[in-house]
Amino acid sequence: MGRLKEKYLGRQIVVDTDSRWTYLGAFKEEDDFSITLEGADAFDHSEVSLSKHEYVMLVRKDGIAANRKETSILKAKIVAITCLSDILDR
């Protein structure tokens, strides 16, 4: 089992990338090159006036509004992974 899978399997996480995209969803699996989320929200923060943190705080309060049944994210693009429950509301 991969290191990330051991820590995050089934948990709702926030995946920050080195692009304008942030992903929120339940960690499903990983391989050598990517991680997969299910029930995911792929969020392009350049399309709204909210900051990335403001958006994630709203999701933490209201729940993930999935716009992808499943999505894979290249590990090379990942900057940070945080459990949604660890997001502070300030």
- The domain limits of the chain are 3-86
Q: What does the pLDDT read at residue 1?
A: 56
Q: What does the pLDDT read at residue 47?
A: 80
Fold entry, domain 3-86? SH3 type barrels. (2.30.30)
Amino acid at 59: V
Using 70 as the pLDDT threshold, list the residues of the chain that sit under it.
1, 90
Q: What does the pLDDT read at residue 89?
A: 74
Question: What pTM does this model have?
Answer: 0.92
Instruction: Read off the DSSP letter of residue 45.
Output: G
Q: What does the pLDDT read at residue 51?
A: 86
Q: What does the pLDDT read at residue 76?
A: 97
- Give the angle subtended at the CA of 70 by the CAs of 68 and 74, to the nearest 5°: 105
